[in-house]
Structure 1
Amino acid sequence: MAARDEQWTERGPDAQGGGVQSVDRALQILEILARDGHAGVSEIAEEMGVHKSTVSRLIGSLVSREIVRQNSDRGKYQLGFGILRLASSIPGRLSLVHEARPVLESLADQYKETVNLAVLRSNYAVNVDQAMGPSTLATSDWVGSLTPLHATSSGKVMLAALPVEERSRILQKTGLPARTPRTITDRDTLEKQLLDVSRDGYAIVHEEFEIGLTAVAVPIYNHFGTVIGSVSISGPAFRFDPENTPGLIQGLKDAGLVISGKMGYTHR
């Protein structure tokens, strides 16, 4: 009995190590399929540096649980619907405000201006969190404020991401009222600007919502790649010039991707 116990003790760590290695390899396979869309056993084995039989065994297990499925046309594998079942349980447990908070604070500290997190609600951009820069001029509390989509950087980012039909429905309902003399109130002009926003990945407004206020915003994505909000930096027009502040726009884009990653987005 003692000999058996000793034998089990010696084999236990090896078995455990093999199990951990199998899990790690299975996760590698999923990452490869998520990155490439589909791949064959030989391709996966070559990238991982393991024998094809090892990959076949692991894929077989993943297929049996519908985590991976085989593309019948090409004989290659891709992620299966089982992944969606697993992923669908995550977003409800993630709080955008909670996940974004450290990033907002970091941006406010780095650029010394006000940073806002906004989402689309009831045809308006609603600011749900804010981090204040150290400047004494950055005193406006925008949390809870409903701001017009057509006149704010956050709103334009979210408008640009909407299907044409949904965007038309919202704009027909809200109109394009002028908040300042610089507010865009012509639909065609706005649509052209939204094309630029989609292409460039950010929106800037110069005193369109409030005289003396400049703001720049980027989108935040969820695990489906859908825009679920925006993060913006705003400041007094006399000193805040995003386009001529080295690294600011790219830094804001990077921050948006960090928040998106926390919400399950995989940037390709």
Structure 2
Amino acid sequence: MTSHSSPAADTDVEGVQHGGVQSVDRAIAVLEILAREGDAGVSEIADKVGIHKSTASRLLGALMARDLVHQNSERGKYQLGFGILRLAASIPGRLSLVHEARPVLEALAAEFKETVNLAVLRSNYAVNVDQAMGPSTLASHDWIGSLTPLHATSSGKVLLAGLGTEERERILKETGLPEKTSRTITSRRKLEEQLLQVARDGVAITEEELEIGLNAVAVPVFNHSGTVVGAVSISGPAFRFNAETQPGLLESLKQAGLEISRKMGYSGA
């Protein structure tokens, strides 16, 4: 005998599916409340989510079973659990800096019509790992893969400023401060003063320090723990490119650095 599903049965399946999605949505809302508030009681959570107290208790119980929520034994309130850290820890390794930064680099290049580079620290050098080209025929140099000296480039100064004192000391002792042009900073004292300003202002500007006729400006990219993991720079010919006088450039570049940083899990200001 052939059996046919009744409309009631179909409705029941749809109802279960809808209920499942609703439960997930509510569970996420609970986690977001705890992330925002730090801790909260059952009644407070129920009120904020707009559900009955018993429903909130069941959601919290399910989240506790997965270690996503923890109940403070003294106050009885709920907090995010260590299971959240376990999940979060798997994210940074899966995020590709180049992949996350690419659309931001392209937008900057289109807006300011100059060359935009993404650099990281490798073997005592700033290595350009991606580039977006401006439409100008003068912006034709391919910097991808180039090893550039840290002390003579805007990206390099951003990366140096993000290091601890001991690591920076080690690198500069090994590389020295070779003169690339007459404008290269070769004084350790002067460089350290610049790096303090870079760390304070969140931007590094170089004018013809690597090559005569080339100016550049860079900002840091942070990861989820607030560590500098890269630098975004805009560079152009000295006769037309001045980061401090070009309207909106510094602000747009800083916002671009923050946008990439947030994609990498950074939550700071």
For this structure pair, what is the TM-score category when the shorter chain's length is used for normalisation? 0.7 to 0.9
What does residue 92 of structure 2 align with?
91
**1:173-193 deviations in Å (ceiling 9; x for gaps):** 222222222222233332232
CA shift in 2, pair 1:255/1:6, >3 Å: same
- The letter for the 2-side match of 1:167 is R
Q: Distance in 2 between matches of 1:55 and 1:176?
A: 62
Q: What is the SS of the residue equivalent to 2:217?
A: strand
**Residue ranges of structure 2 left out of the alignment (5+ in a row):** none
- The letter for the 2-side match of 1:111 is F
Q: Does 1:40 align with 2:40?
A: yes
Q: Distance in 2 between matches of 1:179 and 1:72?
A: 63
Q: What is the SS of the residue equivalent to 2:244?
A: helix
Q: Distance in 1 between matches of 2:135 and 2:101?
A: 19
Q: Distance in 1 between matches of 2:121 and 2:74?
A: 40
Q: Distance in 1 between matches of 2:141 and 2:20?
A: 55
Comparing 236-245 with 47-56, which one deviates more in the overlay? Answer: 47-56
CA shift in 2, pair 1:3/1:31, >3 Å: same
Q: Distance in 2 between matches of 1:142 and 1:56?
A: 57
Q: How far has the Cα of 1:73 moved from its partner?
A: 6.6
Q: Which has the larger radius of gyration?
A: 2
What does residue 252 of structure 1 align with?
253
What does residue 153 of structure 2 align with?
152
TM-score (norm 1): 0.87
Q: Distance in 2 between matches of 1:199 and 1:246?
A: 22
Q: How far has the Cα of 1:129 moved from its partner?
A: 0.9
- Does structure 1 retain, via aligned residues, the 8 Å contact 2:34–2:40? no
% same residue? 69
Q: How far has the Cα of 1:114 moved from its partner?
A: 0.3
- Does structure 1 retain, via aligned residues, the 8 Å contact 2:232–2:257? yes
Q: What is the SS of the residue equivalent to 1:196?
A: helix
Q: Distance in 2 between matches of 1:6 and 1:127?
A: 61
* Two-structure CA RMSD over aligned residues (Å): 2.6
Q: Distance in 1 between matches of 2:198 and 2:170?
A: 20
Q: How far has the Cα of 1:123 moved from its partner?
A: 1.3
**Residue ranges of structure 1 left out of the alignment (5+ in a row):** none
Q: Distance in 2 between matches of 1:208 and 1:73?
A: 60
Q: How far has the Cα of 1:147 moved from its partner?
A: 1.0
**1:133-155 deviations in Å (ceiling 9; x for gaps):** 11111111111111111221111
- The letter for the 1-side match of 2:39 is A
Q: Distance in 2 between matches of 1:127 and 1:32?
A: 40
Q: What is the SS of the residue equivalent to 1:244?
A: coil
Q: How far has the Cα of 1:214 moved from its partner?
A: 1.2
What does residue 242 of structure 1 align with?
243
What does residue 171 of structure 1 align with?
172
Q: Distance in 1 between matches of 2:30 and 2:239?
A: 52
Q: What is the SS of the residue equivalent to 1:130?
A: strand
Q: What is the SS of the residue equivalent to 1:105?
A: helix
Within 5 Å, which residues of 2 pair with 1:125-136? 125-136=126-137
TM-score (norm 2): 0.86
Within 5 Å, which residues of 2 pair with 1:18-57? 18-36=19-37, 38-41=38-41, 44-57=45-58
**1:181-211 deviations in Å (ceiling 9; x for gaps):** 2222233332232222222222111222222
Q: What is the SS of the residue equivalent to 1:243?
A: coil
